[in-house]
Chains A and B, each alone.
Chain A
Amino acid sequence: MATVFERVVTATGEKPAFAPGDRVKVGTRSPIGHYRVPQYLRGQTGEVLKVIEPSLIDNEEEGYGRNAGNRRHYYRISVPMPSLWPGYEGSPRDELQIEVYETWLERAA
C-alpha cells in the first residue's frame, strides 16, 4: 500500500525527465532568437552526467523579458569527441561536457 507521500502527483515538468546515465539526443531545430545550444551540438547524442539543481530560469526566454515561471530542468551531458568531429585526433575517450535545457533533449536509444 502506497504511503500518502507516494501518492503525491507532481505538475507537468516539475520533476526532471532524465536522470544521470540516460542517453539523450539534442534537438536539430533552428529557431531564431537567443538560443544557448551551439550549432555543433544539435542532433548529437550524449549521456546525462548530472541534473543541475535547482531548475533554472530559461534564459532563452529571459533574453526577451519573458521569465515569469519559465523554469527549466538543466542537464550536464557528455558527448564523445570522435562522434562530434569525424576524424577527431586524440584519445577516443576525449569528450565534451556541456549543459543543455530539457526543452532541447529527447530520449535516445
Chain B
Amino acid sequence: MIPETSPSDHDHDHDHAHDDHAPVVEGRPGYYDMMETAVRELFIEKGLITAGDIRRQIEVLDSRSPALGAAVVAKAWTDAAFRSRLLENGRRACEELGISFYDDTDLIVLENTETVHNLIVCTLCSCYPRPVLGLPPDWYKLKPYRSRAVVEPRKVLAEFGTVIPEDVEIRVSDSTATVRFLVLPCRPEGTDGWSEDRLASLVTRDAMIGVIPVTLPQEASR
C-alpha cells in the first residue's frame, strides 16, 4: 500500500501557530482514491458507463434519507393493513409508496414489541437499507459496532442510552448478502390522533437501526 502523505503531515512538537482560516489543502490522493479514479476512467473510456451514469447514481443515493424510512414507519403506525403488508414483504410495501430498490436488495421489516427488541448490523461489511435510509452513519461501518453488536448487544445498546429489560428478548439481525433490515419501532404513548407527518417527525435514523426507541421530544431531553 502506498503511504498517504500530504504537505500537512508533520509533528506537532513545534511552536508555530496554525492559521484557522487557511484554505483546506488536499494532499496526494490515497491508494484507493487513485484506484477508484483509474477504474472509473477505464470504464468510461471503454464505453461501459458514462460520466452521466455516475452523476445520476449519486443523485439516486442523495435522494434517499431517513425521512423516507420515517414516513414508512409513521404509515405503518396509522394504517394496520399497510403495517401487515410491510411486515409480510418490506420491499413490496415500500415500492407501493414509490421507494425504488435500485440496488435490488430485499427488505425485512423487524417489528419491535413489548417483548422483542431488534437491532441491525452488518458484521462483514456495511450492508444497510440504503433505499429507505440513505447512507449509514460512520459508526455503523466501523469495527467496534460491527463486532460488538453481535457479541454484547445489551452493552452496545446501553452505550446509546438504551437499557433493555432482561425479560425483553434481543434479536440481532446480521446482513450477509441481499437482504436488508429496517426496524419498526414501538409507537410512543401519548401520540393518539397524531397525523402521519407529526408521527414521522419523531422517527429517527437510530431508532430504525434499533439502537434507540422512538420517544417524545420531552422524554429525549430528560
Which A residues lie at the B interface, using CB under 8 A?
Answer: 36-38, 40, 52, 56-57, 59, 74, 76, 78, 81, 84-85, 89-91, 93-101
Contacts and interface: CB of A to CB of B under 8 A. Distances in A.
Count chain B CB atoms within 10 A of each CB in A56, A93, A96 and give the residue with the most: A96
B169 A97 contact: no
Interface in B125-175: 150-155, 166-175
A59 B171 contact: no
B177 interface: yes
A88 to B, nearest CB: 8
A78 B150 CA distance: 13
A56 B178 contact: yes
Interface of chain B: mostly helix, strand, loop or mixed: mixed
A94 B177 contact: no
A47 to B, nearest CB: 13
Contacts of A36: 124, 176-177
B176 A76 contact: no
Contacts of A57: 178
B67 interface: no
A79 to B, nearest CB: 10
B177 A59 contact: yes
Nearest to A54: B106
A76 B124 contact: no
A98 B173 contact: yes
Contacts of B171: 78, 94-97
B123 interface: yes
Given A59-B177, A98-B174, A38 B124 contact: yes
B177 A76 contact: no
A100 B172 contact: no
Contacts of B153: 81, 90, 94
Contact of B173 (A38, A40, A97): A97
